[in-house]
Each structure stands twice: as C-alpha cells, then as structure tokens.
Amino acid sequence: MTKPGHSFVGHSVNRVDGHAKVSGRAIYVDDISMPGMLHGRTVRSKVAHGTLKDIVFDAAFDWSDITTVTAKDITGPNFVALMEEDQPALVPMGGKIMHHDEPVALICGPDKSKVDAAMAHIDQQVDELPAVLSIDESRAANTLLYGDDNIFKAYTLEKGEGLDEAFAAADHIVEGEYFTGAQEQMYIETQGMIAHWQDESLHITGSMQCPYYIHNAMKSLFGLEDEAVVISQAVTGGGFGGKEEYPSMLAAHVALLAKKAGAPVKIIYDRSEDVAATTKRHPCLVKHRLGLNAHGEIVAADVDITFDGGAYVTLSPVVLSRGVLHSIGPYKCPTLRVVGRMMATNTPPHGAYRGFGAPQTTFAYERQIDKAARVLGMDPVEFRLRNRLNLGDETATGQILKNSVASEKVVREVMAQAEKEPPNDICMPKAVQDVKRGRGFALYYHGAGFTGSGEDRLKGRVAVAVNKQGEFEVRSASTDIGQGAFTIFTQIAATTLGVDVANVKVVQPNTKMVPDSGPTVASRTCMVVGGIVEQAANGLKEKLQAYGESKGLDCGDVLALAEAHAKDVGELAFETTYKSPPGIHFDDQTYRGDAYPCYGWAACLVDVAVDPDTYEVTVERCIHAVDVGKAVHPIIVKGQIEGGTMQALGWALWESVLYKNGKVMNPSMTDCIIPTAMEAPELETIIVEEPYPHGPHGAKGVGEIPMDGPAAAVANALQDALGKSFDVVPMLPETIAEVLKGGPA
C-alpha cells in the first residue's frame, strides 16, 4: 500500500496485463467462441486491375450450409468510411478491382474445413485492365486510377525566398535520390474479428487499435445510430499501425456475413492472407538537394517526395503530411521548398506503420547530412551539432521551438556511450576473414501527437470514475496492443488520485462504455491521452473531496471517499476533453506554424561489419539515445525503443516485400524475413528526459521515434565501411553486391 502523494510515475510497476499474458490466460479474439458461431473466409481478386463481371458459385458444390455474401447484399453505401469514400467493402459487380487480393465476396459456414474447401468452387469472371505498378508508372498517368493525374494528395512546404538564388550562391550542393521499400508490420497475432447482431444492433469484438474508427465505419455501412453499434477490443497481439485502418474492412466483412447468416461469424486471417492483403509501410522515393556554405552551414534545401499510396486513399494523405513535415530534419535551414505527393497504384493500399511517413524521409535527409559532412570534410557528428535546431530556433514550418529540445543532449549521450567498451554481444563469426567495418551516425526528431490541428479536431475524451463497487476506473478508447497503455494509465491515474495502482483498473475499450479518446496511433497515447487521464483523475478527486467535505469526511483518504460515495450515492464519473496547449497554431492550408506541439529527439550510432564474401551485414553495435520527455515506466519505454530499433534495423537490412504484377510473392514468415534475436546486438539504449511542459509529468511520445533513424545510421556505416553510397532500403546482401560492382551507387 502507498501513502498519499506517492508517485508511481517513473517507476517500472508490474504490467497490468503481464500476468494474464505470460500465464496464457489472456483472451485473444481467436480464443473466443459463441454458440452457433460460423467461420468466415474472404474471396479475393486474382488480378491487380480489372472489371469484375461476375462471381460464379459452382452449381455442383453443396452450398446448403454455406452463406455467401457479395456486394449485392450491401444495402447501404458500399465503402469503408475513413478519409474518402473510395474503398468498397466488396467490389461490386461491374465495378473495378483495384488491387490483387481485394475482397470480392465472403462465405461462412459451421464447418471450417468445408468453408476452406468451398473456396475452390468460386470463380471470378474479370476483364483485366492494364495495371499501374510503380511510382513511375503512376506519375506517367497513361492509365488513370484516381482523378486526372493519379495524385491522391500533394503538399508544398516553403520557407524563405529566392531558393534558386540560394542554391546559386551555395559553395557546395549535395544531391541524392533515395528509395525505401514496403515493410510488413508482422504483428504476432494476425488480424481477426467476430460479429453478431442482436435486436438490430451490431456487436463486434476483435484485434484492433482504434475502436471508434470501426464504430464510424459500421454506422456508415449499415446506416446505424451510435448506440446500435458496439465495438469492443479483444486482447490484441501487436499492431504497429497495421491494425489502425484495416480492421474496419474486416469488421465490415464479419458484420455482413453475420447479418445474412443470422449467426455470429468469426474471421481469422492466416499469415499468408494477412501479409498479402493488409496494409504495409508506403514505398517512397525522395530526391533531396542541400546547399551548403563554406562555413559548413545548410543554406538551402529542395526536396521532392513521392509516396506509393496503393489502390485507395485510406490514411495516405496524413502519412504524406508527416513525411513532408519531417523531410528537413532537426536542422536549421533558412530557404527551402518541399514538394510531396501521394500516388495511386494497383497495389494493396499502403497504410500506417510505426513512424507514419517519417522513417522514409528521415532516411533521405540523414543520408544527405552525412554526405554533406563528407563533402565539407567535416566530422559527421560535428556537422550535425553545428546545424541542429536548438531552443528558440525556427523549424521548416516556421515553428519557434520554445521548450523541450534535446538535440545536443542525445548526441552527447550517444558519443559518451561510444567511448565505453562495447557489450560484444554479437559480432561477425570469427571464421570470416577480411571483414570490412564501419561506423554510422544519425540525428533526428519526431513530432509527437497528431499532425497540425489534428488534436483540436479530434477532441479526445477520457473519463475517470468510481464505479458502484467503489473501484477506480479509467475509461478511454485507447487500446493496449502490447505497448503498455493500460499500465501507464494506471500509474498516472493512481498518482493523481493518491491511491495504489492496485485500486485503479483500465476498462477494456468498448464503445458502449468508454468515451472516444481518439485512435491509438501517432505516439499520442501517453502524451495526449495520458494527459487527459491526469486531468480527469484530478477532476474526479476534486469532486470526491467536495463530496467528502459536504459529509464531513476525511478528505485526505481518497479511497475511503470513493467507497463512501459508491455506497451512499453510487457511481461517480468525471470526463475531460483535450485542449491544445496555449500558443500552438498550425495552418493546414499554408503549412506554416506549429506542426506538432512538441518533438522527441534521438541519435543513433551503428557499427557494422560486412562479410567480403557474402556481403552479409552484422550490426555489431547500436547505441540509441531517445528523448521521451519523461519515462513514465522506464522498462516499457526501453522496450519501445528496443523494439522500434530492431524494426528499423530489420527494415534497413533484411525486410523486403516482393511484388509481382501487384501480388505479394513472399506472404509468409519463412520468406518475408524479419530479424530474430540472432541478428540483434546488445542494444545500448539511453533514455533522455527533456520534459514537455504540457505532457503528463513531462512525457512526450516514444512509440514511433526509434523507427525513424537507425536505417540511415546503417547506410552511413556501410558507406564508411565500403566507400560506396547506399541509398536504397533494404540494403540486402544482393543490393550491396550490386553497388560494390558499380551498379546503381
């Protein structure tokens, strides 16, 4: 037990979800069964682009206990509501198939193996159309997929005047072209959902990040009121952005099947379906030009960014926005222009993945910064320190950094650690001879929370309550997807209320029970929603104390007050809505102003060793200093940094999604490689705390930033080791061999 005034913040308390997960008691969606539940499957397109003429169900097959659904069964508007109304829940007859593995029909039945067998008896009649399969093909616009230029969205960001003159006056110009490929989230639990209908209301349970996104999409698809749709999150085994928008599609499918079959329906994707059909990180091409003066300062930047959005708009405009806003990095630059565009192609839609557009443009500018230092003959770390943004400096959007800048601190921390003995955990096998070694560095920042005015539009709400049993409850729609959200909410609420963490529980998100605190994305859960939790807990505490005073009770014992209130009056809830901190303004039209309320800062140092015979790369050392404002739960924060670092190293060196004619060719964990512990060096993780005055206890985002920079650090290290420029992600041994032979440098 604890004394009032005790802070749980900054201490690694037991995770509230830990025991259930390690003991196997946690209930994931595939653990749930309902009476009469049917198993569903999705019939998917077999071409990247075409017109769907007909779907033929083999008359010779026994369909008696199989329910089939096509777009004809959709009575409302046939689209999955998100940003635009372009993506159908099922391709309609006569409609366009826009990508391979696009849903065209659904089936379900009581016998899973019979449903599987039925899949072979469904034929699609399609008139194939020429497919647009790359950024270049999309920009050529010989085949139009969207509007009259295939551009989903474009942004221009400008600062200062006379860009051409600035380049003309520059002493050095550094120019490069960078391509980063798609990346699969590879969460451990594949996507899954169950739906059932009860008295005209729809109930959905599943693996998800954003219950209210699904709530919104289901209301639209079925024409239902708020109360008639109940979305609840089952324990979720990882998301990384992959369960941000796609679950709305899966929810639509189980709901359509359940409605027609008149029974609960479950769909669980197997790994190959999940990898083939769901969203991935956007491929991205960046052309980046920097002008430098003789003093080693950046004087001009000209950046051209093109993302491959895939077949539908989904969340791509927001990804583009973040990519554009991060493309200059944490560096001073008086004159600049950034043009970004999101293209339509006939590949499965790309979507949210940890970093959300920033890792792609970070790779480009951190390669550029490294090359700039080389051109100037400066130490790459020194060059970064000279040009970095500091307190009071102005960002690319004209935002003046008024607080919470750790650009120097993260660099110093990394360099100090580099002086120490390496942990020597993994290194190139001793038998390998003539190993080439190199060291690379990267400095970067990541805007925490929603881009621009997003949080103002969102108005996230959280309630903290005393329930009828006198227990404290945090009610928010923010999901715990393995990242520890429920634990940190417990810590923040218990600290504010002055009670023990054991007295607070976080309600499993369910749209009937929790207000909309916004989606679980954008490194906002601790910084933004955690802040609302703190305010709501404060509000509840004040109300309880007022109640105590009116009854003449001891107002110091909040737990006793809660029990008294529950016993005498009943439940008491206090709900708070997010308000942006004062003085934060962003103009979405001109792209000027405070792009993010604050930034996290990070620096990464990577030592690589390259096998001269096989071109395999071993990351022998990785030092990563990440500023999180305040580590509410240090072990969870460290876990976030380590996990993000490995995903970034994986993206840099091993992970490759292969497409052929718009179809994913390696949809399995065997062939869609992610690194294992054998690839992981002993990660040297340094938590830096530069408090954000408007975050709970100073906390800002941590989820995404570790993903942004390590890939550039790896490329910089490879250039150091091999003397060639590595500008493509992933840097597979095959790519390295090609570059060394003088192929694309």
Selection from 250, 45, 246 nearest residue 131 by Cα = 45
In angstroms, what is the minimal distance from the CB of 428 to other proteins? 11
Selection from 496, 432, 456, 732 nearest residue 584 by Cα = 456
Q: In angstroms, rounded to a whole number, what is the distance separating the alpha carbons of residues 633 and 191? A: 28
Q: In angstroms, rounded to a whole number, what is the distance separating the alpha carbons of residues 303 and 289? A: 6
In angstroms, what is the minimal distance from the CB of 664 to other proteins? 10
Peptide bond into 597 cis (omega under 30): no
Please say which residue, 14 or 676, places its beta carbon nearer to other proteins: 676
In angstroms, what is the minimal distance from the CB of 29 to other proteins? 21
Please say which residue, 183 or 666, places its beta carbon nearer to other proteins: 666
Please say which residue, 22 or 737, places its beta carbon nearer to other proteins: 737
Q: 728 Cβ partners below 8 Å, 6+ apart?
A: 178, 179, 180, 181, 735, 744
CB 234 within 8 A of CB 27: yes
Burial class of residue 427 (count of CB atoms within 10 Å of its CB; 0-12, 13-18, 19+): middle
Please say which residue, 110 or 733, places its beta carbon nearer to other proteins: 733
**Interface with other proteins (CB under 8 A):** 270, 272, 433, 612-616, 654, 658, 665-666, 670-671, 673, 675-679, 733-734, 737-738
Please say which residue, 55 or 617, places its beta carbon nearer to other proteins: 617
Please say which residue, 223 or 743, places its beta carbon nearer to other proteins: 743
Residue type for position 456: D
In angstroms, what is the minimal distance from the CB of 614 to other proteins? 5
Instruction: Return the C-alpha torsion angle 253, 237, 459, 581, nearest 10.
Output: -160
In angstroms, what is the minimal distance from the CB of 668 to other proteins? 9
In angstroms, what is the minimal distance from the CB of 184 to other proteins? 13
Selection from 106, 659, 649, 644 nearest residue 347 by Cα = 659
Please say which residue, 648 or 673, places its beta carbon nearer to other proteins: 673
Q: 93 Cβ partners below 8 Å, 6+ apart?
A: 52, 53, 54, 55, 70, 71, 72
Please say which residue, 113 or 550, places its beta carbon nearer to other proteins: 113
b (16+ CB within 10 A) / e for 98-110: bbbbbbbbbbbbe
CB 320 within 8 A of CB 355: no
In angstroms, what is the minimal distance from the CB of 625 to other proteins? 27
In angstroms, what is the minimal distance from the CB of 656 to other proteins? 9
Q: In angstroms, rounded to a whole number, what is the distance separating the alpha carbons of residues 360 and 366? A: 10
Q: 743 Cβ partners below 8 Å, 6+ apart?
A: none
Q: From residue 66, how far is each of 40, 111, 117, 202, 255 by CA, in Å? A: 9, 9, 11, 21, 16
Please say which residue, 650 or 691, places its beta carbon nearer to other proteins: 650
In angstroms, what is the minimal distance from the CB of 132 to other proteins? 23
